[in-house]
Structures are given as structure tokens and as C-alpha cells.
Structure 1
Amino acid sequence: MYWPHWQLSLWYFVYFAFVGAYMPYFSLYLEAQNLAPNRIAVLMTLGQLVRLLMPMVWGWVSDSIGRRTPIIRASAALSTMVFVGYFFTQDFILLVVVTALLHFFWCASLPLVEALTFSHLRHEPNFYGRIRVWGSIGFVVAVFCVGWWLDRHPISSLLGILWATLALTLVAAFVIRDAPTAPAIQVDEAIPSLRQSKVIALMLVGFLMSAAHGALYVFYSIHLAAHGYDNMAIGLLWSLGVIAEILVFIRMPRLANLDTLEKVLMACLALAVVRFLVIGWYADTVLLLIAAQVLHGATFGAHHVASVAALNQWFLPRQQGRIQSLYGGLSFGGGGLLGGLIAGQTWMGLGAEISFTISAAFALAGLLVVHSAFSTKATSSEALR
């Protein structure tokens, strides 16, 4: 790989190392603070609410000034500073404030780095998977190491680990460099392309797929702990899904082909229906749970690769900051928020089984959208450039 590729790979590694330390274990930390499930859901989905709007603002600013690294670096620095607030409070309202501020700054960076990566790879976009895979590796390393640590130390030690990974992300942000970009554009230039039916459908499918993952991202670790799995086993199961994701990124060229977009999306959504039903109803059956985690390679990995690659091919390079931010905001932000909040309400009253059945229903709705809205012929021949 070229030097810019290694810079980006390092950033992905440490960024997703934070995610790997945060996502599986922070809900367990909150549970240890005696917070009710609905309050845990609020805190764990608050980031999705922020991601619904703010990445689009950051993306618009980035495309307007023609530079991305200043915003990426400021995002990392301010996130590292704000996180310190967790060390000084266990009050729910203050936790809401700290969490909102953390995600306000944290959400800026990933869509911009995604756009920056494609800018560096303008003539070799299929190389994206080989760079992005380092994020998955960082996630796996963090999940394994933190799970091992928490089986031997108090859950309160998680805060120090999370702050350290944020600090490493700040270091990595000062390593990456901007790629040559086209001149800044008017903010409304991309609007006509956004009205294309296939773009709307892709955004809606991303929203529904993220909503389907809402219960998983908020309550999966709590669900496993309730069925007797220890922290190491929980970490192993999270890691297994990301290992499957790594294999998907390695095979990105096939998934990034617009000719197969409809088939890839339909397969991902169909497998998501199966996955969430298994997680909800068969958590005591280890082999089925392992199989369900392997499907993460499809329900997140393949779906994400196919979607961001399609947007990269449909829109101009100078539009990528706002487009990737819009996609991230609507899918991970809006969809994740809806799915997480619904899970927070159903978890207490209806239980894990029904909560994950609702997740499967979101995926089924996405499958119906793809079936009705996408045409393989249109997707492969229509271009927005």
C-alpha cells in the first residue's frame, strides 16, 4: 500500500478500536450504575440522534471549504476532552449531556474519512476494502483485549480504556493528509441527484437496516449476560461477527459492482431477518448464536460496502463529503435511533424475543423496498455523474 493508504488504515484501526471497546461493554457499565433498561437505551441511542443531523452539517462545511482534515482533527480533540466528563458523574441527566456532546463531535469524523479515503483512491476505488478492513481488525483486537481485561478488573476501568483509545484516535487524525480535491461547490449542486429514485431507495434501505440493528447494538451484551455468558464469551461473539465482516471487505470488488447491487442488498436483508430471529429466540443454543454472528458479515459488512461504493460511483468526488455524511446520518443516525429507542421500550415490557423479532421485521421491510424499487438494469446503466 502507498503511504496515504497506511495513514488511513491506522486511523480506521484506532477509531474502530474505540468502537470495539465502547459498543459491547458500555451498556454493561451503565447497567452496573443501576440504570433502568429504558435509560440505558436513551444513552446508547443518543449518539444516533446526534448522527441523524450533525454529520450532514460537517459534510457540508467540509465540501464547502474543500478540506477535511481540520474537521477530523478538531472532532478527535474535542471528543477526547468531553469524554473526561464520564469520570466525574453518575447522574443520568449529566450522563445525557456528556454523551450528547461526545457524539456531537465524534460523529463528524467517520463520514469525512470515508470521503477522504475515496478521494485518495479515485483511480482505484476497489482498494477501499483493504484499507477499511483495518477498522474491523481494530474492533476485534479491542473486543478481545477489553473482554479479557474486564473479566479480571472492575467494569469502572472501562472508562480509562475508552479515553485512551480516543487519545490514540487524536494522534492518528494528525497523521492523515488531505487528498487533492476539486474546487468548492455550491451547497445545492447535489440536490437534483438526491431526488433519483434509486438514491432515495438506497437511503431508505440503509435506514431500515440500521433500525434492524438497534436492539443488537444496545442490548446484545446485556442479552448474552442474562443467558449466562461471561465478558470474554461476549467479546468472542462480537469479534466473530467482525471477523466475518473482515472477509467481506477483502472481497469488496465483487460487492462494489453496480450490476450486482440489487442481489447483494436483497441477500443481506434476507439474512438479517434470519439473524435477528435466531438471536432473539435461540440465545441458549451456542452453535446457532455463532452462526447468527457470522451473518454480521452480510447484514453489516456486505451491505455497507455495497452502499458506500454505489454512492461513490453515483456522485462526483467533490460531493462525497456531504453524500457520505447524509447516508451515515439517515442510516446509522435515524435508523439506529429508531431501532434503539423501540428496543428500549419493548425490552422491559415484551422481552428480548419480541424486541429482536421487531428487528427482523425492519429487515423484512427493507427487503420489500429493494424488491419494489431497484431494477438491476437501471442500477447498472444509470449514472449520476
Structure 2
Amino acid sequence: MSADNTRVSRSIPSFRLSKYYFVYFASLGIFLPYWAIYLQSLGFNIAEIGQLIAMIPATKIIAPILWGWIADKTGKRVRVVRITSLLAIVLFTAIYQVRDYWSMVAVTLAFSFFWNASLPLFEAVTLAFLENNPYRYSLIRLWGSIGFILTVTVTGIALDYYPPLILPQFAFACLLLLWIISLTLPEPEVTIRHTIKGQLGQILCQRSIIALLVVFMLIQLSHGPYYALYSLFLEQKGYSGTETGLLWATGVIAEIGLFLLMPYLLTRFTMRSIILISILLSILRWMLISQYANQPVVLYFAQGLHAASFGSAHVAAVHMIHQQFGVHFQSIGQALYASISFGLGGMLGSYYSGWFWQRFGPEYVFMGASVVCMIALVIAWLWIDDNPVMGHVELLVVEEDL
């Protein structure tokens, strides 16, 4: 990748970047584990819940690419994050007024179109600040996991005492705080004088890039039943709200441990090796959930594998996209990754998990997720190239933590 005439600021506003991740994933700690329970309390059936949950990642197919293109075109990534965060809040307020299926579809699509745009743009912002220190990404990103743990645990306990109607209030508070934090973020100083014509097309035509995007679409498809219906699955098996929250938190605690290890792992293993191991452990995870849901010890172990099925896989993907797309196309690169994996993969996984649940039962749904990961493993083995490990990175950088 050519980075001619490009200047990237070395000042890293670590504290502010970490706060944004913390609050964004705190909001995710409400939507992922518990939104299905809220929808069920409104009277929607399992198939409708799966479809409504699928609406959220469905907007990731288009929104990140559109907003990523605007951000790269204008060079104002943080400004776009602020605008999309504000519009997400405004549109989410309509959730209090709707109770029928089609109105809920409309509100979900509207607010998530803007909410889903902000994270891939923010990933590009973070990596722009970390241009010379990419190993620090996981150390900043882990604060998102801490935010997720906090809300998933507190919300789980709250649901043992209060009805699911409290969930929109929790979500609104997180969305409002997210917008306020976005106002404090500086714009990364990236100046690009020119790019090579046709360069983006050349990147997208690379076999390894195509394989990477397909593999992560399949990985996120396999997570569809987990994100959409896992809490309902646990409720069906007799687990309390507190136990459900602790199981979700266990997965993210393992993820945090992984993020702390990633700077070490990235200097000793290739991205391809990390991805292959992550997929193998994902296959094991979905099999255990499918067959041993009545055994809490096994479920806690399976939740620990979230460190691999999401944590290490995601970090490896973000770094590979960053390497392959270069500074010229960071926003669109991260947007494509979010759109195809979390968007298309997440939508298909959520939609079909509800459909298959009704016809075959949840155990078969999670076993199907392991089969999807087996397909991803074959594609990754055959077509993802072996990127070199990251070399030693100088630790002394300018940090702005205010």
C-alpha cells in the first residue's frame, strides 16, 4: 500500500477513545442479551423476535459503507460519528410509542441505521491515532468489553426485580451519553494529498480480502442464534436473570483477558494462525452450548470461548483490514468489514435462528452454527494469506489523556 504524502498525528487521546468504546458496548450489553426479552414482553413470537433482532444488523449492510464513504470523502470522521450518534437518539425515542410488528420494524431500522454507522467509523478514527502503534488497539478496545460487562450484569440483576419495560430507558441513557462523549473527541490529523486511481478496486479484488470478508460473514452468521436468542434459551432452561447476566459477563471477561494478551500474540503469531485457531474454538463453543445447556459448568466454559469466537478473531480481522486498506481507505475498509460480517452475517444468523428454532428447536440451531464455522474454517485455510507477525513497536508515544 502506498502512503505517499500522508501525515498521521501521533497524539493519542486514549482516555477519550476508551470512554467511547465503554459506552458504545454498554449499550450493546442491553441490546444483544436482553432486547429479545423486551420484545417477548410486548407479545411478539420467536419468529418475529428473530426477524426484529435481524433488522439491527441488517442496516449494517448499507449504513457503514455509506457513512464510511462520506467520512473518507470529507475527511471528517469524528463529525460524522457525532451526527449519526445524535440521529440515533432522536429516532430511538419513537420506541416508546410502538407496540405492533411493522411499526417496530420501522423504528428499529431507522435508529439502527445511524447507530450502526458510528462504530466502524470510530474504529477508523482509533486506528488513525494508533497508526504507528497498532498493538495498542486491543488495550483501548477492552474498555468496550468492560462497559458491556457492567450493563449486562446490572441489567440482568434488574430484570429479576423489574419488568422488561425498563430496557428502553437503559438503552436511551447509553445512547445519550455516547453522543455527549463524541462531542469531546478530536479529529485525527490525517492529510492525504493524493491516492492512486483504481487502488480501492485492486484491494477489493484480492483473493485474500474476499476470503477474509466471507469467513467473517460466516463467523458472525454463526453468532446469530447467540446474540438474538441466547437469553431466551437460558430462560427456557430455567436460568434466572442474574445467572443469565453472569453467563454473558463471563464471555466478555474472557474477551478482556484476550485483549490484554493480544499485543503479545500479535508479535508471535500470524493473523491467519489466530483466525484459524479462533474458528476451531468457535466450533467447539457452539457444540457445547447445543449439547450441554443443562450443565452450568460446561456453559461457563463455553462462554469463556467467546475470547476466541469473537475476541481474537475480531482483533485479527481489524488489523488485517487496516494493513490491507492502508490509511487512504480506512473508513471504507472498516465499513466493508462491518457491513459484510456484522451486517449481512448478523442479519442472516438472527433471522434464520428464529425460523429454525420454531421448527427444530434451539439445540439444532446452535449445532447448525458449528457447521457454519466448519465451512468458514475450510475457506480460511485455503484462501486467507499468511500475513507476517507484527514486529516490535516503540512504546514511547505522545499520549493525550484529557
TM bracket (short chain): over 0.9
Q: 1:282 aligns with which of 286, 292, 310?
A: 292
What is the correspondence of 1:355-374 to structure 2 with a 5 Å cutoff?
355-374=365-384
- For residues 315-363 of structure 1, give each alpha carbon's deviation from its aligned partner in whole angstroms, at most 9, with x where no partner exists: 2112110000000100000111111111111000100111111111111
Q: Which runs of 5+ in 2 are unaligned?
A: 1-9, 390-402
Could you tell me whether the CA contact under 8 Å between 1:17 and 1:139 is conserved in 2? yes
Could you tell me whether the CA contact under 8 Å between 1:256 and 1:310 is conserved in 2? no
Could you tell me whether the CA contact under 8 Å between 2:12 and 2:129 is conserved in 1? no
RMSD: 1.7
**Counterpart amino acid of 1:191?**
G
Distance in 1, Cα, partners of 2:127 & 2:134:
6
Distance in 2, Cα, partners of 1:44 & 1:346:
15
Distance in 2, Cα, partners of 1:180 & 1:293:
39
**Counterpart amino acid of 2:133?**
E
Shift of 1:375: 4.4
Classify 1:255/1:332 alpha carbon distance in 2 versus 1 (closer, same or farther; 3 Å): farther
Classify 1:2/1:228 alpha carbon distance in 2 versus 1 (closer, same or farther; 3 Å): farther
**Counterpart amino acid of 1:43?**
L
Distance in 2, Cα, partners of 1:130 & 1:259:
18
Partner of residue 213, structure 1: 223
Q: TM-score, normalised by structure 2?
A: 0.91
Shift of 1:253: 1.9
Could you tell me whether the CA contact under 8 Å between 1:182 and 1:318 is conserved in 2? no
Q: 2:273 aligned with 1:291, yes or no?
A: no
Shift of 1:70: 1.3
Partner of residue 39, structure 1: 48
Shift of 1:182: 2.5
Q: 2:111 aligns with which of 82, 102, 119?
A: 102
Q: 2:206 aligned with 1:180, yes or no?
A: no
Q: 1:226 aligns with which of 236, 248, 253?
A: 236
Partner of residue 380, structure 1: 388
- For residues 147-168 of structure 1, give each alpha carbon's deviation from its aligned partner in whole angstroms, at most 9, with x where no partner exists: 1111111111111111111111
Distance in 2, Cα, partners of 1:69 & 1:165:
19
**Counterpart amino acid of 2:368?**
I
What is the correspondence of 1:1-385 to structure 2 with a 5 Å cutoff?
4-183=13-192, 188-257=198-267, 260-376=270-386, 379-380=387-388
**Counterpart amino acid of 1:342?**
Y
User: 3-state DSSP class of the match of 2:37?
Assistant: helix
**Counterpart amino acid of 1:288?**
V
Identity within the alignment, %: 34
Could you tell me whether the CA contact under 8 Å between 1:23 and 1:217 is conserved in 2? yes
Distance in 1, Cα, partners of 2:53 & 2:194:
36
Shift of 1:368: 0.6
Classify 1:350/1:139 alpha carbon distance in 2 versus 1 (closer, same or farther; 3 Å): same
- For residues 11-58 of structure 1, give each alpha carbon's deviation from its aligned partner in whole angstroms, at most 9, with x where no partner exists: 000111000122111100111111111110111011111101221111
Distance in 2, Cα, partners of 1:4 & 1:105:
24
Distance in 2, Cα, partners of 1:25 & 1:270:
28
Q: TM-score, normalised by structure 1?
A: 0.95
* Moved segments of 4+, more than 4 Å: 184-188
Shift of 1:254: 3.7
How many residue pairs are counted as aligned between the two chains?
A: 379
User: 3-state DSSP class of the match of 1:380?
Assistant: coil
Distance in 1, Cα, partners of 2:278 & 2:32:
22
